[in-house]
């Protein structure tokens, strides 16, 4: 599964991040790295261009691809393009609060998560990827019974256990 994330839209829904903070994008990416590590989901994060000119950028790192829209374009346009041109749109989950993007995603069969709901999930991540490890029963290291004791038990069972064996009684 691939999550397409409207980066600035998500930052706007996170109570402890601010869009006017110059480090907001890196802080979001840090949280998304942790999310990727706990879920294994591949992430594509789209950012609008900043106040100063930045050339269009695409960078990838450990399960996360970051796209920065070129000047004069918006992240929404890049997300819509990906939704429209994806051969397997049902494998996409789109994280945004933008109604137009949500509508386009649903029309193509993508799953949609509102940014506010995803922000809450980032605040309290749920481990999804890690398979449960099976607990193997522990075999106790018990020494074998001596043959004399085995013979004694066999005699007890052969007798139907109705008559107590005096030798066993002495051991108690």
Residues 55 and 146: their CA atoms lie apart, in Å, by 82
Which two structure tokens, joined as six digits, stand for 70?
Answer: 């070129």
Residues forming a β-bridge with 3: 43, 93
CATH class of 2-123: alpha beta
| Dihedral over Cα of 13, 16, 18, 22: its sign | negative
96, 79 Cβ separation under 8 angstroms: yes
Length of the chain: 172
The answer to whether residue 143 scores a pLDDT higher than 60 is yes
pLDDT tens profile 49-94: 876 545 556 778 878 999 999 888 999 999 999 999 999 999 999 9
Output the average pLDDT for the chain.
83
Domain boundaries, given as residue ranges, for the chain: 2-123, 141-172
Comparing 51 with 115, the larger pLDDT belongs to 115
28, 14 Cβ separation under 8 angstroms: yes
pLDDT tens profile 121-140: 888 766 554 444 555 566 66
Q: What is the pLDDT of residue 53?
A: 47
pLDDT band at 144 (very low <50, low <70, confident <90, very high): confident
């Amino acid at each position: 599964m691939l999550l397409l994330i409207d980066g600035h839209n998500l930052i706007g829904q996170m109570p402890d991040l601010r869009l006017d903070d110059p480090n907001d994008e890196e802080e979001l990416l840090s949280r998304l790295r942790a999310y990727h590590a706990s879920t294994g989901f591949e992430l594509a994060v789209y950012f609008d261009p900043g106040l100063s000119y930045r050339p269009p950028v695409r960078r990838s790192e450990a399960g996360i691809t970051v796209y920065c829209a070129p000047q004069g374009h918006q992240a929404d346009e890049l997300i819509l393009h990906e939704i429209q041109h994806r051969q397997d749109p049902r494998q996409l989950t789109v994280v945004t609060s933008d109604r137009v993007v949500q509508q386009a995603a649903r029309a193509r069969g993508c799953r949609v998560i509102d940014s506010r709901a995803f922000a809450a999930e980032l605040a309290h991540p749920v481990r999804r990827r890690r398979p449960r490890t099976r607990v193997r029963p522990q075999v106790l290291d018990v020494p074998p019974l001596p043959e004399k004791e085995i013979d004694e038990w066999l005699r007890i069972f052969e007798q139907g256990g109705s008559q107590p064996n005096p030798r066993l009684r002495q051991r108690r």
